[in-house]
Amino acid sequence: YLFGRSIGKHKLWPVISPNKTIEGFIGGVLCSLLVPIIMQMFIEFPVNIFVMMVVTVVLSMFGQLGDLVESGFKRHFGVKDSGKILPGHGGILDRFDSFMFVLPLLNILLLQN
């Protein structure tokens, strides 16, 4: 959000999500790299830090893809919010849209180990 809002100039997919920018996408992915770096200071990973960084980048990209897919569904069906259970912020699906792609991928990655 911060990168896209402050330096975002190039729209990522304006038809589906007009406020998302390429700079915001890249900024989100780069910031996600800080997670394994900081976590490594406190816990020992069972795998190489480079592997953790790659997994983190892929999960970050899949999370943003889930957000775009959910926005695409809403645009396709002509709705602004995905429900009234959690008002504002696009509805309840906007709270969990990133998990739609991240959790299945994470499950596959964990089962491979």
Domain limits at 70?
2-112
Number of structural domains found in the chain = 1
Residue 113: what pLDDT? 62
Query: What is the pTM assigned to this prediction?
Result: 0.83
Question: Which string of b and e fits 98-109 if b means at least 16 CB within 10 Å?
Answer: bebbbeebeeee
Confidence of residue 54 (pLDDT cuts 50, 70, 90): very high
* Three-state SS at 12: strand
